[in-house]
């Protein structure tokens, strides 16, 4: 059988790209519908059980003091212990943690300095070292770049107390920590990650567990040896959720959304963080990741137009309009500041490029360390000079 001529291949490629773009536009509008139906009025429980909050630290990140101070100003009725952990006494985050302990003397704030590694995942190793200081059975873990509201603990712990719930996690919105690259990173979260997750939850197609918040029982965690077991993997948040479900309990997504403060200062920082996120998703669900190509309708429509498809240009305009409507809906639903709307098409093209690049390798850079991700998500140190 002879091969198809190049012009025929281009025609087929244009038709397939146009079809995928059309499906993508419909998908984006379904996201808009899911966002519009997300309830704004949230219940507020009044739990009073003691809780230990673990925050692993690494470096004096922009705004770290204020984020920790927000944790110290919670409208929560029970005893709260806050544990901050660093791997080295020379880590500049240690000074911030000690300043918080000094400025909030009525709270129980403890700092752990421990360099022991339990696997290549340094964040999990930090959490393992910190967990021995936890004084209470109710445990809340969150990343250092998360900004919480005043009722955060009330909602999260209240939802954890419901029958059959083994863990609580939170959706998060993107907040720029300053600079153009951090703004693009925040936009990626708000117009891509967040609407996709909300739609997946509404359709019962996702089982997320995000490092933005994981609240659970310390006794259950220690009994199953969860933290130490997942220090080998990049997929630590997902593995936490899987361990809870395997114990016969539910992981619920809280009604409380938190802020993820994006701290990328350079284009390299942005590329590294986006590739790590994309390759994490691919390791968790390779089939779903392949299908998520339709979440890039603008780029697909551009490909169709470049390949000469007659529907390409109208689809470019439709995809751009749909993305703008989705962005406006996210801003309205989560009370976010306005994004740079003219940057949306460029963001869409960049996101598609990173999606394709994520398929071509298994390397990630995390906190300056280079790792290779196996098919099951396990981490190993990258070889010297290895190209990603």
| CA dist., res. 191 & res. 147, Å (int) | 19
Structure tokens at 12: 């087929």
For residue 138, pLDDT beyond 90: yes
Residue 276's pLDDT band, with cuts at 50, 70 and 90, is confident
The pLDDT score that the predictor gives to residue 69 is: 97
Average pLDDT, the chain: 87
The pLDDT score that the predictor gives to residue 1 is: 43
CA dihedral (280, 285, 288, 289) positive or negative: positive
380 contacts 120 by C-beta, under 8 angstroms: yes
Terminal CA-CA length for the chain: 37
Closest CA to 96 of 107, 87, 86: 86
260 contacts 146 by C-beta, under 8 angstroms: yes
Residue 105's pLDDT band, with cuts at 50, 70 and 90, is very high
* Class at the top of the CATH hierarchy for domain 51-268: alpha beta
Which strands make up the sheet holding 51-56, listed edge to edge? Answer: 108-113, 80-86, 51-56, 138-141, 214-217, 165-169, 250-253
Q: How many CB atoms lie within 10 A of CB 115?
A: 13
Lowest mean pLDDT among 111-125, 161-175, 279-293: 279-293
| CA dist., res. 221 & res. 166, Å (int) | 10
């Amino acid at each position: 059988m002879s091969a198809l001529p190049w012009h025929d291949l281009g025609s087929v490629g244009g038709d397939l790209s146009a079809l995928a773009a059309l499906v993508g536009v419909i998908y984006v509008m379904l996201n808009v519908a899911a966002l519009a139906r997300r309830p704004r009025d949230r219940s507020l429980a009044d739990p009073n059980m003691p809780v230990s909050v673990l925050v692993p630290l690494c470096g004096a990140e922009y705004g770290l003091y204020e984020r920790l101070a927000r944790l110290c100003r919670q409208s929560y009725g029970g005893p709260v212990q806050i544990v901050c952990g660093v791997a080295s006494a020379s880590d500049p985050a240690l000074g911030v943690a000690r300043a918080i302990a000094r400025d909030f003397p009525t709270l129980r704030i403890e700092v752990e300095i421990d360099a022991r590694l339990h696997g290549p995942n340094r964040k999990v190793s930090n959490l393992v070292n910190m967990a021995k200081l936890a004084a209470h059975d109710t445990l809340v873990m969150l990343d250092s770049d998360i900004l919480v509201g005043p009722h955060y603990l009330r909602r999260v712990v209240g939802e954890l107390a419901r029958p059959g719930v083994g863990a609580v996690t939170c959706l998060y919105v993107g907040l720029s920590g300053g600079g153009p690259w951090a703004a693009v990173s925040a936009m990626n979260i708000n117009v891509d990650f967040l609407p996709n997750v909300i739609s997946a939850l509404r359709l019962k197609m996702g089982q997320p567990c995000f490092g933005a918040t994981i609240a659970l029982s310390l006794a259950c965690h220690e009994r199953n040896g969860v933290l130490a077991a997942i220090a080998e993997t990049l997929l630590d948040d997902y593995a936490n959720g899987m361990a809870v479900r395997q114990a016969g309990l539910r992981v619920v997504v809280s009604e409380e959304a938190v802020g993820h403060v994006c701290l990328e200062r350079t284009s390299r920082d942005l590329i590294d963080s986006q590739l790590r996120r994309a390759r994490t998703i691919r390791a968790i669900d390779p089939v779903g990741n392949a299908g998520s190509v339709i979440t890039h309708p603008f780029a697909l429509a551009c490909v169709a137009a470049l390949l000469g498809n007659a529907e390409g240009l109208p689809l470019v305009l439709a995809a751009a309009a749909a993305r703008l409507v989705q962005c406006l809906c996210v801003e309205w639903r989560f009370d976010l500041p306005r994004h740079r709307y003219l940057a949306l098409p460029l963001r869409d093209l960049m996101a598609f490029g990173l999606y394709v690049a994520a398929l071509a390798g298994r390397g990630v850079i995390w906190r300056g360390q280079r790792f290779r991700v196996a098919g099951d998500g396990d981490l190993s140190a990258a070889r010297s000079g290895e190209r990603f």
